[in-house]
């Protein structure tokens, strides 16, 4: 069977595809299931089906069997796991069976317009995670999240009035704050894995970036390094920050500056030549970055060190 991809612009299109009740609101869907959804009952669960949409997706589910691929690799699901998808990101489902008590919220971008929560959705890193980054919940955490989803569902099913959107927005705000708390806990609990990612990052960075005197280099982008490591750039940056307090871009800068110190001490080399060798298009930017991070200008660093 050939791969199929569908992009949903409306929630009504999505509910038709999923085979569930049409949304109560044109820009908001809250679905609570008490039945097992099998691949032979749901178009979205069959082999080689992928989809994306114009809305944010939040789901809590227990996957009995089958694969969910978010990005290029398998989504790490287990009992009591949550997933978060941003608009226009692709989820591919293969032969999935999802157990009972599945909860799902879909929020169209238009629902968030004009409210400060829009920025909260846009800035939450877990919506842009690409691989192996489901939120794994303890039993108490799972019950807390399910309780919040049930409260949102109850308000969603009420007759719409002037308070409906405000109340739902408030509850979504609470849900996202709990998600941030639990993701922070997950990062802390995975300290060993996080340190392994740091080690892999440093190894890959060294493999991709090896300045040679007289040859201009291309500075690796975070996306390129993350792609080589098989994880998403946002997850890489968040993990490095949880371990070292510095985001991925800062680590790249430190690696560049370490190479810069070595090159600056080579005989008869100018600051401009070093900047170009490192991959900087503008020597002035290199000099500003060097002084900011090292404390002295590249020229001053040269004069302070014995030339090899």
Full DSSP string of 111-177: HHTTSTHHHHHHH-GGGG--SS-PEE--HHHHHHHHHHHHHHHHHHHSPP-TTHHHHHHHHHHHHHH
Half-sphere exposure of 222 (CA within 13 A, CB side): 16
Write the burial class of residue 146 (CB in 10 Å: 0-12 exposed, 13-18 middle, 19+ buried): middle
Q: CATH 1.10.10.60 in the chain, residues?
A: 192-304
Query: What residues pair up with 29 in beta bridges, in sequence order?
Result: 106
Helices 233-244 and 164-189 sit at what angle, rounded to 10 degrees? 60
Query: What residues pair up with 69 in beta bridges, in sequence order?
Result: 74, 92
> Which residues of the chain register pLDDT less than 50?
1-2, 36-41, 43-44, 73, 130-132, 307-308
> Could you give the CA distance from residue 225 to residue 88 in angstroms, rounded to a whole number?
23
Predicted pLDDT of residue 20: 86
Q: CATH 2.60.120 in the chain, residues?
A: 4-189
42 closest CA partner among 15, 23, 7, 77: 15
pTM: 0.59
Predicted pLDDT of residue 82: 84
Predicted pLDDT of residue 308: 47
Backbone angles phi, psi at 60, to 5 degrees: -125, 125
The structure tokens listed for 133 are 């980054």
Neighbours of 172 (CB within 10 A): 23
Predicted pLDDT of residue 130: 44
Predicted pLDDT of residue 52: 86
Predicted pLDDT of residue 12: 93
Are 49 and 43 within 8 A, CB to CB?
yes
The structure tokens listed for 304 are 């302070």
Are 222 and 241 within 8 A, CB to CB?
no
| Residue labelled with tokens 């405000």 | 166
At the topology level, CATH places domain 192-304 in: Arc Repressor Mutant, subunit A (1.10.10)
Strand ranges of the sheet holding 4-8, from the earlier edge strand across to the other edge: 4-8, 49-53, 91-98, 63-70, 73-74
147 closest CA partner among 19, 277, 32, 304: 32
Predicted pLDDT of residue 232: 82
67 closest CA partner among 59, 79, 75: 75
Predicted pLDDT of residue 38: 45
Cα distances from 31 to residues 110, 150, 190, 197, 219, in angstroms, run: 19, 9, 31, 36, 46
At the topology level, CATH places domain 4-189 in: Jelly Rolls (2.60.120)
């Amino acid at each position: 069977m050939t791969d199929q991809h569908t992009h949903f612009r409306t929630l009504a299109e999505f509910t038709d595809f999923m085979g569930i009740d049409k949304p109560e609101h044109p820009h908001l869907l809250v679905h609570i299931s008490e039945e097992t959804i099998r691949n032979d009952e749901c178009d979205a669960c069959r082999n080689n089906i992928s989809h994306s949409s114009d809305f944010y997706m939040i789901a809590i589910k227990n996957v009995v069997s089958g694969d969910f691929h978010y990005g290029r690799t398998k989504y790490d699901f287990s009992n009591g796991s949550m997933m978060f998808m941003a608009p226009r990101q692709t989820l591919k489902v293969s032969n999935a069976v999802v157990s009972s008590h599945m909860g799902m919220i879909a929020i169209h971008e238009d629902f968030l317009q004009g409210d400060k929560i829009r920025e909260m959705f846009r800035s939450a890193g877990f919506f842009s995670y690409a691989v192996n980054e489901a939120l794994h919940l303890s039993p108490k955490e799972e019950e807390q999240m399910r309780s919040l989803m049930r409260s949102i569902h109850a308000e969603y099913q009420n007759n719409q009035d002037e308070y409906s959107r405000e109340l739902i927005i408030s509850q979504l705000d609470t849900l996202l704050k709990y998600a941030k708390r639990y993701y922070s806990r997950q990062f802390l609990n995975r300290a060993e894995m996080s340190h392994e990612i740091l080690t892999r990052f440093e190894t890959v960075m060294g493999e991709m970036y090896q300045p040679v005197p007289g040859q201009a280099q291309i500075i690796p982008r975070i996306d390129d390094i993350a792609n080589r490591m098989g994880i998403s750039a946002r997850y890489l940056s968040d993990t490095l920050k949880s371990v070292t307090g510095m985001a991925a871009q800062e680590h790249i800068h430190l690696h560049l500056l370490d190479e810069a110190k070595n090159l600056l001490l080579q005989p008869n080399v100018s600051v401009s030549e070093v900047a170009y060798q490192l991959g900087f298009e503008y020597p002035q930017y290199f000099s500003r970055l060097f002084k900011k991070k090292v404390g002295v200008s590249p020229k001053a660093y040269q004069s302070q060190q014995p030339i090899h």
